[in-house]
Amino acid sequence: MAISKSPYRGTRDFFPEQMRLRNFIFSKMAEVSELFAYEPYDGPLLEEIDLYRAKSGDELINEQVYSFKDRGDREVAIRPEMTPTVARMVAQIHREVSKPLRWYAIPNLMRYEKPQKGRLREFWQYNADIFGAPESLGDLEIIQLAIGIMKSFGANNEHFEILINSRRFVDYVFAGPINLDAEMTKKLYKLIDKKNKMPAEKFSAEVNLITNDPNKSAIFERYVSLSSMNEVETFFKETYQGSNQEDDFSKSLQPLMNLFSQLDGLGLKDYIKFDPSIVRGLDYYTDVVFEIFDKHPDNRRAIAGGGAYANLLAIFGETPLPGIGFGMGEVPLTDFLTSHKLLPDFSKQTVDILLGYLDTTAEKASFEIAQKLRNGSIKVEVFLGEAKPKKIFSHSDKKQPNFLLILGSNEIESGEIQLKDLKTKAVHKIQLSDVDKMIELIKGSR
Ligand code: HAM
């Protein structure tokens, strides 16, 4: 039986057209990261699975990770996310380097998921993380960077929004006012994470089932109905002001309030929104958490997600070094850019000049000119083998280079060529030896 030509389920082949798109996306991400002084890093494709068992959460470990035993009987996983790797790397060097550490990477990751719109099994995920930033300034910078990346593609607040919450705040509401034990807290976290995917009645029924107390359910339902920082403050005032819990509650909310007012001060208010249903599925987050959401009605899903983690280095026996970062998948990002018509056309390769020759007497000169043009950073495609003009024209119609040059014995003898600008249809008569002039004309038309 013949072997299938299709790639493994949930993975993709990247033909040149898709590679052009991917390179475009990655180069924008890298460009903006460098503008924020983030440095590139990378890690291995395989990690020992315990690295993820420590803090990544049940869903990732039980349902999504690709794992196997290696020949030495070690349990190994293909990386399903980058955060544990970056934490492991930072744990090795953080004592010797000055902080904050600002790092970015664009790794390919694998998760065993049901392939669907925006979600595949192999995907590339931009990661940016900052470690050891003073107070909550890392939160501010990371969200500014996330907005910067989205803007570099021409997106604005009509296209996307950043939904923000704080685990410290949610933990406090759960442990303080609602007074839930750790088990119930875990269940409610999971439930909130699924809130937007289930009908309201079902959600309420599940809340009641978990708390088994109408008063607790009522406070919880009140919490999930909060839709702005103003409402959060009112909730705070109504519920706790004057009580002995006021101080703790206020502390749990402070980093989130600071973040909103700082982002507001930077003119980014229209990009951000408090959302009580954002709690994130990974266990290591401890404070601010956020997701970038597509506003397009066809694509209401997360393009990126991240948050702050205070204790991730503790799994390596290191002293705490707080970090915050996010991951952005190229799959949902591409869907986003496509729906909002923000992508250039990548269907054609961009070649500056197609150079063909009619007979073997012009072959050597063609290769020589091509090389000189390339030395001047001109992208040259040589039409290999002597060919009739008709054949070269037909290839040129398909590839659509910016310029066309055809050499034959006449050009070699006279020393004069005709360089055709295919955009303007102008024909430039130039000396065969004057490659500088050709370079100038070609660059001038870009
Ligand atoms: P995450 O929410 O699991 O977070 O993933 C972040 C983003 O990766 C998602 O919003 C989505 O864009 C993309 N993504 C996730 N799964 C898939 C998939 N199956 N197919 C395509 N894209 C996907 C994390 O991974 C955290 N480690 C991010 C982070 C970095 N937190 C702090 N620093």
pLDDT tens-digit series, residues 340-351: 999 999 999 999
List, for residues 307-334, the tens digit of each pLDDT value: 999 989 999 999 999 999 999 999 999 9
326 lines ligand 1 (CB under 6 A): yes
Among 144, 149, 90, CA closest to 321: 90
pLDDT at 371: 98
Give the chain's domains with CATH numbers: 16-166+273-339 (3.30.930.10), 353-444 (3.40.50.800)
276 lines ligand 1 (CB under 6 A): no
User: Quick one: pLDDT band at residue 243, thresholds 50, 70, 90?
Assistant: low
pLDDT at 388: 97
Most informative mutation of 38, 124, 125 for ligand 1 (most atoms within 8 A of CB): 125
pLDDT at 255: 87
Dist. CA 106 → ligand 1 center (Å): 12
pLDDT at 275: 96
Which atom, in ligand 1's list, is nearest to the CA of 127? 30
Distance, first Cα to last Cα, the chain: 50
Amino acid making up residue 287: D
Dist. CA 436 → ligand 1 center (Å): 49
Q: Which long-range contacts does 195-200 make (Cβ < 8 Å, 24+ apart)? A: 195/224, 195/277, 196/277
pLDDT at 239: 75
pLDDT at 130: 98
Tell me the average pLDDT across 406-432.
97
Dist. CA 305 → ligand 1 center (Å): 6
Which atom, in ligand 1's list, is nearest to the CA of 304? 10
pLDDT at 197: 83
User: Quick one: pLDDT band at residue 181, thresholds 50, 70, 90?
Assistant: confident
User: Quick one: pLDDT band at residue 9, thresholds 50, 70, 90?
Assistant: very high
Give the Cβ contact number of residue 177 at 10 Å.
Answer: 19
Phi and psi torsions of 63, nearest 5°: -115, -25
Give the CA count within 13 Å in the CB-facing half-sphere of 291.
18
* Closest C-alpha residue for ligand 1 atom 30: 326
User: Quick one: pLDDT band at residue 398, thresholds 50, 70, 90?
Assistant: very high
Does residue 54 surpass a pLDDT of 90?
no
Does residue 396 surpass a pLDDT of 80?
yes
- Average pLDDT, rounded, for the chain: 94
pLDDT at 263: 96
Tell me the average pLDDT across 110-127.
96
100 lines ligand 1 (CB under 6 A): no
pLDDT at 390: 97
Tell me the average pLDDT across 251-279.
93
Which atom, in ligand 1's list, is nearest to the CA of 292? 10
Tell me the average pLDDT across 52-73.
91
Q: How far apart are CA 277 and CA 290, in angstroms?
A: 10
Which atom, in ligand 1's list, is nearest to the CA of 302? 10
299 lines ligand 1 (CB under 6 A): no
* Closest C-alpha residue for ligand 1 atom 11: 329
Tell me the average pLDDT across 210-233.
91
* Strand, coil or helix: 82: coil
Does residue 139 surpass a pLDDT of 90?
yes
Dist. CA 127 → ligand 1 center (Å): 9
Does residue 244 surpass a pLDDT of 90?
no
Does residue 288 surpass a pLDDT of 70?
yes
Does residue 128 surpass a pLDDT of 70?
yes
Give the Cβ contact number of residue 142 at 10 Å.
Answer: 26
Tell me the average pLDDT across 264-278.
96
* Strand, coil or helix: 201: helix
As a three-state string, the secondary structure of 257-315 is: HHHHHHHHHCCCHHHEEECCCCCCCCCCCCCEEEEEEECCHHHCCEEEEEEEECCHHHH
* Closest C-alpha residue for ligand 1 atom 10: 304
Residue by residue, DSSP assigns 96-144 as: TS-S-EEEEE--EEE-----BTTB-SEEEEEEEEEES-STTHHHHHHHH
pLDDT at 135: 82
Tokens standing for 162?
């950043």
- Residue 324 forms beta bridges with which residues? 130, 308
Judge contact between 177 and 245, C-beta under 8 A: yes
User: Quick one: pLDDT band at residue 242, thresholds 50, 70, 90?
Assistant: low
Dist. CA 115 → ligand 1 center (Å): 15
Q: How far apart are CA 191 and CA 198, in angstroms?
A: 10
* Closest C-alpha residue for ligand 1 atom 21: 119
pLDDT at 338: 95
* Closest C-alpha residue for ligand 1 atom 25: 81
User: Quick one: pLDDT band at residue 241, thresholds 50, 70, 90?
Assistant: low
Which atom, in ligand 1's list, is nearest to the CA of 82? 27
193 lines ligand 1 (CB under 6 A): no
